[in-house]
């Protein structure tokens, strides 16, 4: 059975990423509010802005793609939906404080900078 990864744009401009075997049916379920505890229930109406087909035998790839897209920032999802694929690498760069510290710290001759950055990421100093 084929699978589809899809992205919905909700009425509050948020994105929802999902996986289905029937995108038309799934869109209708979102629109009708079939699941009253679901993410899109209070964000209707929704618009399907992206669909990617995964043929039979590629279920793992479909699940991996869904997970990948869910982890992306809003800006990266927007670039992807708009087909601005050249922007994806730049939008993937880490811009948080931990990254800035690890890039600016001077490594010693034993490479302890890598351990320092790892400690920062895990919350240890």
**What digits encode the pLDDT tens for the residues 14-49?**
999 999 999 999 999 999 999 999 999 999 999 999
CB 16 within 8 A of CB 7: yes
Give the single-character DSSP code of 8. Answer: E
pLDDT, position 100:
54
pLDDT, position 125:
41
- With a threshold of 0.85, does the pTM exceed it? no
Distance CA 48, CA 46 (A): 7
pLDDT tops 70 at residue 105: no
As a whole number, mean pLDDT of residues 89-116 equals 60
pLDDT tens digits along 77-98: 999 999 999 999 999 887 776 6
**CATH fold label, 3-92:** GIY-YIG endonuclease (3.40.1440)
Parse the chain into domains and list their residue ranges.
3-92, 94-125
- Reduced to 3 states (helix: H, G, I; strand: E, B; else coil), residue 118 is helix
């Amino acid at each position: 059975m084929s699978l589809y990864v899809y992205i919905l744009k909700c009425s509050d401009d948020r994105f929802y990423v999902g996986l289905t075997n029937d995108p038309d049916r799934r869109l209708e379920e979102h629109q009708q509010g079939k699941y009253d505890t679901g993410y899109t229930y209070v964000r209707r109406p929704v618009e399907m802005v992206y669909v990617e087909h995964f043929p039979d035998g590629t279920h793992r790839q479909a699940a991996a793609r869904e997970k990948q897209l869910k982890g992306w920032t809003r800006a990266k999802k927007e670039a992807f939906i708009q087909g601005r694929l050249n922007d994806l690498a730049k939008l993937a760069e880490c811009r948080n404080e931990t990254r800035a510290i690890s890039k600016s710290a001077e490594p010693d001759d034993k490479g302890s900078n890598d351990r320092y950055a790892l400690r920062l990421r895990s919350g240890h100093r």
